[in-house]
Amino acid sequence: MNQPDDSSQLPAFLQSISGEVDSDYWKPQNVKEWSEVRKTSAFIAAWEQQQNMERALRKAIGIWVFILITLQVIAVFTLVTLDALKLLLLNEGIIKLLIPSVLAEVFGMGFIVIKYLFRPAAVNPLEFGKRK
């Protein structure tokens, strides 16, 4: 089953490489089809690079937020411990306000990081801006 040589229909810059490609591979039928495939390939490569960079940024932000939350909780419990050991004198009202407010902030920041920074993998990136 010999296929006819259709290299005469290809542009000159594609005719030079048409002999290098096996007949089982895809061959563009015209320049527009070739350029569309190249644009799509470039778009996918750029999108993949953007996704990798975005994942790395999300990971770094998530780690830093949880490190700061941990330091904040440690600082509050250090203050309460120093007050309990009578090394530091804190007003009872400050302690009553400090612990619930810090815990609310910790839970709030954890919720925001998990909900908005780490979106589900099933989200279609093409439908990100659309509302349901």
pLDDT tens, 47-90? 999 989 988 988 888 888 889 889 998 999 898 899 889 898 88
Alpha-helix runs per DSSP H in 12-127: 12-18, 31-84, 92-112
Overall pTM > 0.95: no
Tokens 């949880």 belong to residue: 66
pLDDT band at residue 35, thresholds of 50, 70 and 90?
A: confident
User: Which residues are within 8 A (CB) of 57 and not within 5 positions of it... i.e. 6 or more apart?
Assistant: none
Closest to 61 (Cα-Cα) out of 73, 69, 72, 50: 69
pLDDT of residue 97 exceeding 60: yes
